[in-house]
Amino acid sequence: MDLKLQVSVPPEDNSDLIHAVLRLAAEAHGAYEAVELRGAYDTEWAGWYADHMANSLSAVGYRLVEVSA
């Protein structure tokens, strides 16, 4: 299963982007649990989601950066 984040225009609200990438990660993780883990619950799901979301955002040109206060 090859799922990719598609963003045609910059989202007006950051929550729209986060929602899209979270939904994509959830779909991909469901497939990962079903196929790779053979239906077993992934106790390390949070790290898997974080990696998938960061990679998906990076693939379409987004970077997470620290902003100085």
22 domain residue, yes or no = yes
Tally of structural domains, the chain = 1
Question: Does the global pTM surpass 0.75?
Answer: yes
Is 31 within 8 Å of 1 (Cβ atoms)?
yes
7 domain residue, yes or no = no
3 domain residue, yes or no = no
Rounded-to-integer distance, Cα 36 and Cα 16, Å = 29
6 domain residue, yes or no = no
Give the pLDDT score at 35.
Answer: 97
44 domain residue, yes or no = yes
Residue-number span of the structural domain to which 38 is assigned: 14-59
What tens-digit pLDDT sequence spans the chain (69 residues)? 555 666 655 667 788 888 889 999 999 999 999 999 999 999 999 999 999 999 999 988 888 888 887
30 domain residue, yes or no = yes
